[in-house]
Structures are given as structure tokens and as C-alpha cells.
Amino acid sequence: MNAHETQALAILAAQPVLPSRMRVLVEELTFAVKQADSSHLGAWGLYAARTFGVSFTRRVTNVWRLVDGIVRGTWQEGRGAAEAYKNNALASYLKLRAQAGYQATSDGVSGLSKFLRELAGGLRSNPKEVAPQLLVLVVSSLLVSGGPDGDGGAPDLDLMFGIDAHRSILSHSIFMGATLEAGILSLLNLVTLVHAKLPEKHDPLWDSMHQQASGIAHAANQGASIGMAYHLFVDGLAQPHPYTDIPGSMPIEAHQAVFVANASAEALDAGKKPGDSALAMDPLQRKSIEEKHKTYLRKPFDVHPRISRFFDDTELSMLRKKGSWMQALASGDLEPMSREQEHFVLVATGKIHPETSFEKIWARYRKAARKIEE
């Protein structure tokens, strides 16, 4: 047995034995799963795999947009600043760009900010229901991050495979964030699916999880992303150390840049989690609704010539591609599947003001449509 295997066995041996209640919970869930319909479990398995894929893709997109924005922004800002300097307007230009940067940053974290505001408001009006969600958010963020010093937590689980495996790209990146999200959502969805199959006398925790599945899952996902982002920021900025499994060699500064890019993407992702209604769905129901969403997204949308003059080419392209889908969401023909879609429905029904560019374009379209109808 080599040194790495000895170390891994020592770590596993040091883990505490499952408490009696935990063993009971595992036995009850196993019993319920065995009683569940095989087709439902098959759909749940596909849901778990698809959830990881969607979660990972969303994070990769976040990284790509960050890198693309930095590269494009650096080039465009350099040209713009040079032009402004020639025209003796550099101060005004920098002021405008600072405002734009602030707005972009605000948009990037708006989802997380709204969730925290809702949580704080709900804590005052309905503490019995919201307090568990707040507790889950705080505990999950601390467990995943490893605490204020950023040591331990989910990313450092790679130490179980030896010190040479530490700082793996699999654990210290968006891959771990996607794994955590898929695991949390899949567990809560499984509880929802098999709750009716649990033994008649079962732990009350299952009832609480079933009743508050969407809120708990959302809070746990938010907390996990916050914890992951914090841990990766600490690793990239305060505790610089290279990744161990990136092929080839590169300077430590490049490794730090990768850490920070992953941390930034995870922080942005904290505000882009699935919505409450989607989390509470049965896997078969979810699949049916997802297919319905795809049908509307493939359906073309005609924009009246008298309306099209109010939009530029990019906005018109978006309306023609997604107009039928937005209209179906707004009318209630489609159920929202994410927090962003839930927020869009509230905007479309006039309950709140538009915030994102997506919502503002639809609000302008509806206003123009009402004018030509009069």
C-alpha cells in the first residue's frame, strides 16, 4: 500500500459513523425509492443528468461572457478613451463608462440581491417558514466554503485522494458548483417524487422537506454558490497555489486568473438559479413543460411593421425568435421554469416594473401594440 492510499484510508477511518437518525433517514428513503414507479425513477435519473448539464453549461457561459467582456471591453474602452482624449472629453467619457460598469455589475448580481431582499422581507412577515431557508443558506455557504479562512469545504474534498490531488480543476472550479447544484436539486426532487411512498411512521424531516422543497433547494443552491465563490476567491487571491492537473505549465498568475474567473462565474450564478415552481415539479411533469417551452421557442413571431420601427435590428431579432414564447409566458399558457421567467411574468402582468433588457423590450413591445390597437 503506497503513502497516498494509506492517507486516504486514514481520512476515511477518521470520518464519524452515521448517527442513528441519519441511518433511519437513509433506510426510509431507500424503502420509498423501492416502492416508487420505475418510469418515474427513470425520468428522475434523466432529470438529475440534465440538471447537471444545464448547471454546468450555465456556468461555462458565465465564464465565457466574463472573458469575452473583458477582452472586448479592454479593446473598445481603449479606443474610446483615446478618441475622447483627442476631443478633450476624457473626463466625461470616463464618468459615463464608470456608470455603465456599475450598471453591468448591478445587473450581474441583481438575482441574488432580489432573493436576499425577499428572504429578509419574508423573515419579518413569516419567520416560521422563512427562517429555515435563511438557516440553510448560511449553513450551506459555510459548509461549502470551509469557513471564513476558506480552508476545507467542498472544494478541498480532493484531499481524500492525496495531497497531490489537491487543487484539482474538477473540485476547484465551476465543475464542483454544478455537481453541488445537481445533487441538491436531485435530492429535493427525489423527496418530492417518493414522499407518498415513505413508511407510514417516518421522520418529520421528510414532511418539512416536501412542504418547503422549492424554498430550501433555492436557499441551499444560493448558499453553495456563495460558499464556492468565496473559497475560490481565497484560493486565487489570498492562498495562491497552482492547479495540479492542468496539462502543460504556466505561471502562477495564470493559475490565479483561472481561480478568479471560476469564482466570478460562480458568484454570478448565485443569482441565476431555477425558480420555485420548477423545483416543485414532478420529473414527468417537468419534461412535458420543457417540451412545451421548446415548441413555443421554435414558433416564429410576427412583428407589425408599425411596431418594428420602435426597435433596432438586434431587438427585432430577439422579438421574432422569442416573441411567441414570451407571449405564452405572459398569458399563462406556459409555466415559468426559472426565477428570471417568474420575474418576467410579474412584469408582463403589470405587478412590478421591468428591470432587465429582456423585460424592457417586451414592455415596450406591449406598449406599442396597444397604441396601434386603439
According to DSSP, residue 18 is labeled P
**Residue 111 amino acid letter:** G
Give the tens place of pLDDT for each residue, 174-228: 889 889 988 888 888 888 888 889 999 998 888 888 777 777 777 888 888 888 8
Return the number of other C-beta atoms located less than 10 Å from residue 126's C-beta: 10
% of the chain exceeding 70 in pLDDT = 72
Residue 198 is which amino acid? L
Closest Cα to residue 40, out of 309, 284, 371?
284
Cα Rg of the chain, angstroms? 24
pLDDT given for residue 283 in this prediction: 58
φ, ψ at 206 (rounded to 5°)? -65, -40
The pLDDT score that the predictor gives to residue 9 is 41
222 and 272 Cβ atoms separated by less than 8 Å: no
Structural contact between residues 144 and 171, judged by C-beta atoms closer than 8 angstroms: no
pLDDT at 372: 78
Element holding 61 (H helix, E strand): helix 38-86
Cβ distance 325 to 335 under 8 Å?
no
Q: What is the dihedral of CA 178, 179, 181, 186, to 10 degrees?
A: 130
pLDDT at 75: 52
Q: Encode the chain (374 residues) as per-residue pLDDT tens digits.
A: 444 444 444 443 444 444 688 888 889 999 999 998 888 888 888 888 888 888 888 788 777 766 665 555 545 555 665 666 567 765 665 555 444 444 444 444 555 566 566 666 666 766 766 677 777 888 888 888 888 888 888 888 888 877 777 888 888 888 898 899 888 888 888 888 888 899 999 988 888 887 777 777 778 888 888 888 889 888 888 888 888 888 778 888 888 888 888 888 888 777 666 555 555 555 566 677 888 888 999 998 998 888 888 888 888 888 999 999 999 999 989 888 777 788 888 888 888 888 888 888 899 999 888 887 76
Q: What's the rounded Cα separation, in Å, for the pair 195 and 276?
A: 18
- Type of residue numbered 319: L
**Total residue count of the chain as it appears in this document:** 374
Domain extents in the chain = 3-274, 299-373
Tens of pLDDT, residue by residue over 238-264, are 888 888 888 778 888 888 888 888 888
CA distance 44 to 57: 20
DSSP summary character for residue 197: G
What pTM does this model have?
0.60
Q: Is the CB of residue 110 less than 8 Å from the CB of residue 355? A: yes
